[in-house]
Structure 1
Amino acid sequence: MSHRVWCCLSLWLCLWLVLSLLTIRARAEFYSSVDSMQDLGQLELELLNATRSYLKAQQQEINLFRKFVEQLKQEHDMAMDLTNLDDYLGHPLHAFRLIKRLVYDWDALHAPLVENKPREEYRQVVDNLSKEVGFPDLSELQGAVKGVARLQRVYNFTASDLADGIINGFFYDSAMDWRECYEIGVQLFDLGEHQRSLEWLQVAFNLLRTNPEMDGDDNSHFMADIREYAALANFELGNPKRAGRLLEKVLQAEPTHPAQLIRNYLDHREGSRIDQQKRDPSWFSNYTRLCQGRALPERGGGSPLRCFLDGKRHAYFTLAPLQVEQVHLEPDINVYHGILTLDQIDSIFVEADKLQMTRSGVAGAGGTRTVLDLRVSQQTWLDYESPIMKSIARLVAYISGFDMAGAEPMQVANYGVGGQYEPHPDYFEVNLPTDFKGDRISTSMFYLSDVEQGGYTVFTKLNVFLPPIKGALVMWHNLHRSLDVDPRTYHAGCPVIVGSKRIGNIWMHSGHQEFRRPCNLTSDS
């Protein structure tokens, strides 16, 4: 057996072991948090090291097997040079060597082949990794692909630019090959994103056509696969003639190709196909514009926004005044810069790492939470018992003027691939959770990381966008003084383009704030 065949066999065994063990255990989710994705990076590194060790051990055994086979071949070649086998076996040393090989040598060769100790050791490593971290499954891949499609939809990125490693005008060393583009196209098709699927399939086709490493047969085979999916996508988009032409090109090259079954299927469906075009919601244009950092020109006069130092909010800030940036008036939205130090942020992460991050849900009736794609992140909750969290509680109380008895635990969240939170209010208005004493009167959002690109906080009804600035605090009221809800405070977390977005939210309830923010004589709702 040739060296190349042995290597291919070893790699095949290696892949078979991994695939056979992937079904053992899969963690809840990875793609919705960059922090969780770090676990996958470490898992792949350990898997790579284990695979190298496995292949090295297999190669050592293969070398021994090859040496034995070559010696045996020389012996048989010598026997064949004689007039007959009797002459060879008539020699007592030849007979001895034959019996010795069958008694000892072949048995010694058979044992490692059957036991395959390197394979069992490799299996154990993969098994341990599966139990400790877990492997992503198809839903994870689809979640990551949805994130890519979300970035395209919100920021108007083209598939060709992303494939070339160009993101928002910046070049990253992350160019994709045709197989990766093809896989994105296939997954988008399965998710019903047919137009987006076509974009990626076209890029995959162009990359494959110009790939110098592919031979003619492989090239034709994979190009046919791309054309098949492109035909199906065109059909779903209402272009049956285009779909037919693509399938015809496949069949011209290979008349017996299974594409003829797809053509028959589409011919059968042509009269009953339902167009499934999706329309963007009414808020989407404002949302995408603000996410891209483009606010509309403000009309009229009004009080100008300003930045100032505030040392009178509380005696705590006398020597180190608050650095206040007004970003909107009526309702008031303020950014307080430099609130947290790097050490304080690290201490928050230490506390969060002690707990399990889970996929963020969307609040429903009675405090229930549902996991939906409109919110892609992971979160955990921190109480105010640790020294760092007691310090955070004091800061929020001093700045807001509210009683922390009405505060929820701090929600620490991390956004993953294309992570976002579509426009929403923080108040409940109806169906308050039973443990709430009043609705959420205010939001205090700490930015716990910078974000290289994207991830803005936007207020879709107020023409406001805020880039995350590490250590800053954004604060606003969700309720009027009358405790009526303020729908102007609808806000969103834009998809993260490049980087990792980490925030800490503290929501204050109105039930403990009667004397901290009393009603006016007239309703201001």
Structure 2
Amino acid sequence: MRSSKWLLPVRLLLIYQVLLLLHHQVAGEESHCTSVAGMVKLLDLEAQLIDNLEDYAVELEKKLETVRRSITTLRLENDKARSSTEEYLSNPLNSFSLIRRMNRDWIIWQLYLDDSVGVSQVERIQELREHMPTHTDVEEAVSALDRIQHTYGLKVSEMTHGLLNGKQYNVSLTVLDTYAMAQILFDQENYLAAASWIYQSVVLMEVYSLAAPLQISKNEVRMFYAETLLKLNQNADALKVVNIALADNPQDIKLLLKKSEIETMIRTGANIAHPVKVQAQAQTAEPSAYQMGCRGQFAPSADSKLHCLYNRTTSPFLMLAPLKMELVGLDPYMVLYHDVLSAKEIKELQGMATPGLKRATVFQAASGRNEVVKTRTSKVAWFPDGYSPLTVRLNARITDMTGFNLYGSEMLQLMNYGLGGHYDQHYDYFNTINSNLTAMSGDRIATVLFYLTDVEQGGATVFPNIRKAIFPQRGSVIMWYNLKDDGQIDTQTLHAACPVIVGSKWVCNKWIREREQLFRRPCLKKRM
């Protein structure tokens, strides 16, 4: 007995698999777009899927070749019979052969045609399904592009054609890309952004056409554009879009009904959307200090006391091997060290971290736990101080730079940022007294942040309250104090990691705790 699944047309089965994929969630799933290193395996996975599709094409070609060859043979016999029908059928051998063919051969052909091509390829997609991005991954990727566009004030039309922050790249988005952006932003009720992206889909569809099975109709795109405009209470513009669509398809029932609906809304003054939501999405305000910092728009510091020097005094070792130090700010104290890491050390750190990268979390006071949040999109790996000779050297170097005792401080944290990777504005200190977080070793007195890579565009560390921005430089280190001399928190240390536009941003940081600095920084207030 043939299994019923073989009777399901391959196209329907493929659609079924895709729909399952969109809703499939693996327990403990890692986000694909929050780390460039983590996305590398997606290219390998895509290569496997392309190979699988090629295998499907080969099977189709074999079946097509068999069918075409048989058609030639069958037609020759049939043409021969029809050219002299009576003579042909008068021969008992021909009559028998015809009856046998019609009774048996065409049943075999029916079974052959019914035998689906590509079943094994569909099963292969099923096997790879759990490794593919889910709908949640696509949503995160959409949010990342929207974050880049909003933070840096980019034009959607320029992004579509590969112009990012003034630099042209040899890449562009397809109709399917811009349409997916619009759909998800629409679902998120971000109608203003959705309208910009769906308009790009309309423009692209006038120039490019999609081949089966991925094609979408102009009507579908235009209808969605009209729906988006209605959500923005732009009823007259929505009617124009529908009328343009009707010019190509004057008898389309859906378009005619939509036109009637919009005309009624215009006559009655009815609106679909809530005005408050629309106003909330308007982005007409001046850029915030954070956005200005990310865009490199902070004015240079006018403090003439700030300067560069060789640090020879923080530790005895620096007398032999001084470090190039740039004094960035005094309130809070902030210094930038140059050429701290070698290329070999950077490569080793990246190699250590890549296999164990996990989605970064943030401590939530309300729940008392570390949780995945949308305000921090990167992947991290943690390493104890004595993990390897390199981590030992790195911690010794931190001691040389800061003069602090690292006993009781946190482990080294390596991070890789992915598509639009960022960490929204935050403080590094906990500001919690008598809690489990600070009871043993105190609060985070200082932060040391290593930049392991240059970043082609974006990815700056911005301090909006003091209007300073540090852009990643391979091998450099930024260090600042999170607490004042009396041990109180310093709200001037508010900072953020700007979204990466282009590049792979790798950093390594160390949070130094205050308890062991009692004699290193004796002016700190003593806590019980």
Bucket of the pairwise TM-score, normalised by the shorter protein: 0.7 to 0.9
TM-score (norm 1): 0.85
Task: Assess if the C-alpha contact under 8 Å between 2:32 and 2:39 holds in 1.
Answer: yes
| 2:250 corresponding residue in structure 1 | 254
- 1:129 offset after TM fit, Å? 2.6
Choose which of 53, 64, 67 in structure 1 pairs with 2:66.
64
| 1:171 corresponding residue in structure 2 | 168
- 1:498 offset after TM fit, Å? 0.6
1:497 equivalent to 2:501? Answer: yes
Letter in 2 for 1:274: H
Choose which of 156, 159, 170 in structure 2 pairs with 1:159.
156
Task: Assess if the C-alpha contact under 8 Å between 1:25 and 1:130 holds in 2.
Answer: no
Task: Assess if the C-alpha contact under 8 Å between 2:232 and 2:273 holds in 1.
Answer: no
Task: Assess if the C-alpha contact under 8 Å between 1:420 and 1:496 holds in 2.
Answer: yes
Per-residue deviation, residues 435-459 of structure 1 (Å, max 9, x unmatched):
5421111111111211100110010
| 1:75 corresponding residue in structure 2 | 77
CA separation in 2, counterparts of 1:410 and 1:227? 52
Letter in 2 for 1:130: R
CA separation in 1, counterparts of 2:285 and 2:375? 15
User: SS at 2:270's partner residue?
Assistant: helix
Letter in 2 for 1:400: T
Task: Assess if the C-alpha contact under 8 Å between 1:29 and 1:359 holds in 2.
Answer: no
CA separation in 1, counterparts of 2:284 and 2:433? 25
CA distance 1:281–1:249, shift in 2 (3 Å) = closer
CA distance 1:271–1:358, shift in 2 (3 Å) = closer
Task: Assess if the C-alpha contact under 8 Å between 1:454 and 1:498 holds in 2.
Answer: yes
Q: How does 1:36-115 map to 2 (within 5 A)?
A: 36-84=38-86, 87=89, 90-91=92-93, 95=96, 110=111, 114=115
Letter in 2 for 1:155: Y
Choose which of 133, 139, 144 in structure 2 pairs with 1:142.
139
User: SS at 2:157's partner residue?
Assistant: helix
Choose which of 455, 458, 479 in structure 1 pairs with 2:459.
455
1:479 equivalent to 2:483? Answer: yes
Task: Assess if the C-alpha contact under 8 Å between 1:31 and 1:37 holds in 2.
Answer: yes
Letter in 2 for 1:142: E
Per-residue deviation, residues 15-60 of structure 1 (Å, max 9, x unmatched):
5486266366654311222222212111111211221122123312
CA distance 1:440–1:309, shift in 2 (3 Å) = same
CA distance 1:325–1:291, shift in 2 (3 Å) = same
CA separation in 2, counterparts of 1:281 and 1:227? 26
| 1:6 corresponding residue in structure 2 | none
Per-residue deviation, residues 40-98 of structure 1 (Å, max 9, x unmatched):
11111121122112212331232123212321222222223332497276127x84697
**Which structure 1 residue ranges, 5 or more long, are not aligned?**
1-8
| 1:315 corresponding residue in structure 2 | 316
Task: Assess if the C-alpha contact under 8 Å between 1:14 and 1:51 holds in 2.
Answer: no
CA separation in 2, counterparts of 1:432 and 1:98? 95
- 1:180 offset after TM fit, Å? 2.6
- 1:227 offset after TM fit, Å? 3.2
CA separation in 1, counterparts of 2:417 and 2:75? 62
Choose which of 467, 474, 481 in structure 2 pairs with 1:470.
474
CA distance 1:30–1:261, shift in 2 (3 Å) = farther
CA separation in 2, counterparts of 1:324 and 1:297? 18
CA separation in 1, counterparts of 2:499 and 2:146? 11
Per-residue deviation, residues 322-372 of structure 1 (Å, max 9, x unmatched):
111111122111111111112212222222134242243454346423333
User: SS at 1:140's partner residue?
Assistant: helix
| 2:223 corresponding residue in structure 1 | 228
Q: How does 1:44-443 map to 2 (within 5 A)?
A: 44-84=46-86, 87=89, 90-91=92-93, 95=96, 110=111, 114=115, 116=117, 119-120=119-120, 122-131=121-130, 134-211=131-208, 222-251=217-246, 253-259=249-255, 262=258, 264=261, 267=265, 270=270, 273-275=273-275, 276=277, 277-278=279-280, 285-296=288-299, 298=301, 302-361=303-362, 363-365=364-366, 367-384=368-385, 385-430=387-432, 434-436=436-438, 437-443=441-447
User: SS at 2:305's partner residue?
Assistant: coil
CA separation in 2, counterparts of 1:108 and 1:240? 57
User: Which deviates further from its counterpart, 104-113 or 46-55?
Assistant: 104-113
CA distance 1:249–1:101, shift in 2 (3 Å) = closer
CA distance 1:448–1:283, shift in 2 (3 Å) = farther
**Which structure 2 residue ranges, 5 or more long, are not aligned?**
1-7
Letter in 2 for 1:493: A
User: Which deviates further from its counterpart, 412-421 or 241-250?
Assistant: 241-250
RMSD: 3.6
Per-residue deviation, residues 279-327 of structure 1 (Å, max 9, x unmatched):
779996101111111113556xx55211111123223333321111111
Task: Assess if the C-alpha contact under 8 Å between 1:165 and 1:175 holds in 2.
Answer: yes
User: Which deviates further from its counterpart, 328-337 or 230-239?
Assistant: 230-239
CA separation in 1, counterparts of 2:90 and 2:453? 80
Task: Assess if the C-alpha contact under 8 Å between 2:427 and 2:495 holds in 1.
Answer: yes
Per-residue deviation, residues 117-155 of structure 1 (Å, max 9, x unmatched):
x531x2343344334xx1112222222121111111111
User: SS at 2:54's partner residue?
Assistant: helix
CA separation in 1, counterparts of 2:284 and 2:378? 22
User: SS at 1:126's partner residue?
Assistant: helix
Percent of residue pairs bearing the same amino acid type: 26
- 1:393 offset after TM fit, Å? 1.7
Q: How does 1:7-18 map to 2 (within 5 A)?
A: 12=11, 15-16=14-15
CA distance 1:358–1:521, shift in 2 (3 Å) = closer
CA distance 1:101–1:337, shift in 2 (3 Å) = farther
Letter in 2 for 1:145: V
Task: Assess if the C-alpha contact under 8 Å between 1:446 and 1:471 holds in 2.
Answer: yes
TM-score (norm 2): 0.84
